[in-house]
Structures are given as structure tokens and as C-alpha cells.
């Protein structure tokens, strides 16, 4: 007696996988907050190094945000353009 079809099983696990990839957004938000906090602390300690600190902070923010964009793309692919359905 088969209660779950293979398609439903793959779609369910894909939804769980998409949820796990979007949990990365929590870490990204925390990381970006810490980057901003340390940037403000650095400028407060050495105002003359403001341009260098802000430049480094913005590069760090951009690298951190790319991880979030990749996680978002993976979750969208798993939900709407699932490549695993074609393998059944």
C-alpha cells in the first residue's frame, strides 16, 4: 500500500530543502549586523580612517549578501523549477 507518490515525496523534500536554504538568511542578517556594528566601532575609534573602514565594510556586506542571493535562488529553483521531478 503506497500512501505517498514519488512526486509528492520529492516535492515535500524539496520544500524542506528550500526552507533549510532560507534559514541561511538568519545567519546573513546576523553577519551583516555584526559587520555594520564593527564598522561603526572602527570609525568611532579612528575617524581619520573612515574611508578605508567603510570601503572594507561595504565589500564585506556585498560578499555576505551574495550568499543570501544564492540561497534564495536555490530555494526558488527547488520550489518552482524542480530538476528532481524530471529524474523520476
Domain encompassing residue 40: 24-81
- The pLDDT, as a whole number, for residue 53 is 93
53-82 pLDDT, tens digit each: 999 999 999 998 998 899 889 889 988 888
- Residue 10 located in a structural domain: no
14-64 pLDDT, tens digit each: 999 999 888 888 888 898 999 999 999 999 999 999 999 999 999 999 998
Q: 35 near 60, Cβ under 8 Å?
A: yes
> Three-state SS for 23?
coil
- Residue 29 located in a structural domain: yes
- The pLDDT, as a whole number, for residue 25 is 83
Query: What pTM did the predictor assign?
Result: 0.73
Looking up residue 29, the CATH number of its domain turns out to be 1.20.20.10
- The pLDDT, as a whole number, for residue 50 is 94
**Domains identified in the chain, total number:** 1
Amino acid at each position: 500500500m503506497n500512501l505517498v507518490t514519488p512526486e509528492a515525496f520529492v516535492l515535500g523534500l524539496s520544500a524542506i530543502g528550500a526552507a533549510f536554504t532560507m534559514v541561511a538568511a538568519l545567519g546573513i542578517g546576523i553577519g551583516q549586523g555584526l559587520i555594520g556594528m564593527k564598522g561603526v566601532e572602527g570609525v568611532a575609534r579612528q575617524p581619520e580612517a573612515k574611508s578605508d573602514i567603510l570601503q572594507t565594510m561595504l565589500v564585506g556586506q556585498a560578499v555576505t549578501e551574495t550568499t543570501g542571493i544564492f540561497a534564495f535562488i536555490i530555494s526558488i529553483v527547488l520550489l518552482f523549477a524542480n530538476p528532481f521531478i524530471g529524474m523520476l
